[in-house]
């Protein structure tokens, strides 16, 4: 659905009126198109550690204009703060204030990225305080940026460095326009696994992916994005959506599998279909889901059970089949669609929020099981996304929901799909058990 307000305030007369009245001024976000430059403008790498030097050298190999110090009044594409050696909160002052001097020079749609270490498991209270301080700093900065600029963070676990493949993969994702609606978020790189693609425009070349709920909306866009990135597709949806499913499958040159994913044999049927046509299955995207909203006082067994069964119980059953299958053992990837409702809750959605919170718990517990075969499982938690469902929300409520994030607008199905495509790629092979929100940084609840 078109966001008429955002279009209005990006026109000449509308922009002036919004400024005079102090109204929100959401920017038109720069979204990914194959062949476009990764970053527009110089990238400044802030930090004095050897890791900062190594990262700057690596970024130079990407044909980026990399600076170790900003030139005053020069428009910048990105600022990367390497904070991997923090031992005390006082250590934040020099790099943070150095970056602060360049923020006004950040281009529209620019990027700020922090690279630091997690606070969990650190024995030193001072070091833990400094590392956790990055969290508060980054999330607050994301709320200060304007004109479509975003701020996100990469956390390096023990054994990983700024030049580990998935650290570079996460940095590349956050720098790119693929992450247009990801803001104020952190990704933890838990292992040195992964590999950067030879062709960055087709990072899923030759992979076989199954997508559930693929007949419409976000699921159809996931299929289009994975196809664009080189994947061969098995598209799954219920028989009632057969015509729409076939149309999407034809569009992306995939195959359609009409299937109720709540069936006990759903996992086996997906595996069998993929094996017959491609000999294996590399990626599964659990996108299928339903809502049956009602206040809990009015909730009945049917509404509760149908949502739990489709949104989480079906994923658990399918994953059991995947983990036991011979055709899903070569660095497999699972990406589940959760929701910010499962993080912050939502009135009238106790069943839905329970199911989506359950997805996140499942992802974290399944991660070690997949790691043994070089695999990963992660979740994407969308916020307000412009879909047929959100178009049915009453106008006033919809407008408020659109503006309650740092980017002051709703996301697009493509934003969810781009994030899923990244997590399904080998560039994210060292990222496992994570939940990444695609919400423009919701201002309330979480």
pLDDT of residue 445: 47
**Which tens digit of pLDDT belongs to each residue from 380-422?**
999 989 887 777 777 777 778 888 899 999 999 999 999 999 9
Residue 444 has pLDDT above 60, yes or no: no
CB 333 within 8 A of CB 283: yes
| Arithmetic mean of pLDDT, 193-205 | 94
**Which tens digit of pLDDT belongs to each residue from 75-132?**
999 999 999 999 999 999 999 999 999 999 999 999 999 999 999 999 999 999 999 9
Per DSSP, what are the bridge partners of residue 272? none
The pLDDT-based confidence of 50 (bands split at 50, 70, 90) is very high
| Arithmetic mean of pLDDT, 355-371 | 97
Q: List, by residue number, the catalytic residues.
A: 352
Q: What percent of the chain has pLDDT over 90?
A: 83
DSSP string over 151-170: EEEEEE-TT--TTSHHHHHH
Q: How far is CA 329 from the centre of its chain?
A: 24
pLDDT of residue 446: 42
Asked whether this chain's domains 31-189 and 208-438 adopt the same fold, the reply is: yes
Q: Which of 310, 277, 283, 306 shows the shortest CA–CA distance to 293? A: 306
The CATH code for residues 208-438 is: 3.40.50.720
Residue 34 has pLDDT above 70, yes or no: yes
pLDDT of residue 1: 63
Give residues with Cβ within 8 angstroms of 139, minimum separation 6.
151, 184, 441
Domain extent listing, the chain: 1-29, 31-189, 208-438
Residue 6 has pLDDT above 90, yes or no: no
Q: What is the mean pLDDT of the chain?
A: 93
The pLDDT-based confidence of 26 (bands split at 50, 70, 90) is confident
- Token code pair at residue 327: 């055709």
CATH topology of domain 31-189: Rossmann fold (3.40.50)
The pLDDT-based confidence of 206 (bands split at 50, 70, 90) is very high
- CA 343 to CA 358: how far, in whole Å? 10
- Token code pair at residue 344: 């912050």
pTM, full prediction: 0.95
């Amino acid at each position: 659905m078109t966001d008429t307000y955002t279009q209005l305030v990006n026109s000449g007369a509308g922009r002036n009126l919004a400024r005079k009245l102090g109204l929100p001024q959401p920017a038109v976000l720069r979204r990914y198109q194959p062949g476009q430059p990764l970053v527009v403008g110089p990238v400044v790498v802030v930090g004095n550690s050897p890791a900062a030097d190594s990262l700057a050298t690596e970024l130079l190999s990407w044909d980026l204009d990399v600076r170790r110090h900003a030139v005053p009044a020069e428009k910048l594409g990105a600022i990367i703060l390497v904070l991997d050696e923090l031992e005390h909160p006082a250590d934040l002052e020099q790099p943070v204030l150095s970056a602060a001097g360049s923020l006004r020079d950040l281009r529209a749609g620019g990027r700020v990225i922090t690279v630091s270490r997690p606070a969990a498991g650190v024995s030193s209270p001072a070091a833990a305080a400094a590392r956790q301080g990055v969290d508060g700093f980054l999330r607050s900065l994301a709320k200060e940026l304007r004109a479509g600029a975003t701020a996100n963070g990469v956390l390096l676990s023990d054994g990983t460095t700024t030049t580990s493949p998935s650290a570079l993969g996460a940095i590349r994702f956050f720098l790119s326009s693929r992450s247009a609606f990801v803001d104020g978020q952190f990704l933890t790189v838990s292992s040195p696994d992964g590999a950067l693609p030879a062709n960055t425009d087709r990072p899923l070349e030759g992979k076989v992916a199954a997508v559930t709920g693929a007949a419409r909306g976000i699921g159809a866009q996931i299929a289009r994005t994975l196809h664009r990135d080189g994947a061969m597709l098995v598209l799954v949806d219920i028989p009632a959506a057969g015509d729409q499913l076939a149309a999407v499958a034809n569009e992306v040159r995939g195959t359609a599998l009409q299937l109720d994913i709540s069936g006990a044999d759903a996992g086996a049927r997906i595996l069998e279909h993929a094996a017959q046509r491609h000999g294996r299955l590399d990626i599964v995207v659990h996108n299928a889901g339903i809502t049956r909203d009602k206040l809990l006082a009015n909730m009945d067994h049917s509404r509760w059970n149908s949502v739990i069964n489709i949104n989480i119980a079906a994923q658990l059953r399918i994953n059991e089949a995947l983990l036991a299958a011979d055709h899903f053992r070569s660095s497999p990837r699972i990406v589940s669609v959760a929701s910010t409702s499962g993080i912050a809750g939502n009135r009238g959605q106790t069943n839905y929020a329970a199911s989506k919170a359950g997805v996140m718990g499942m992802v974290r517990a399944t991660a070690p099981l997949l790691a043994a075969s070089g695999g990963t499982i992660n979740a994407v938690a969308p916020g307000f996304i412009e879909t047929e469902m959100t178009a049915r929300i009453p106008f006033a409520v919809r407008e408020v929901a659109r503006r309650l994030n740092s980017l002051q607008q709703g996301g697009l199905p493509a934003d969810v799909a781009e994030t899923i495509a990244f997590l399904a790629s080998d560039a994210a092979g060292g990222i496992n058990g994570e939940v990444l929100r695609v919400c423009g940084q919701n201002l309330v609840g979480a």
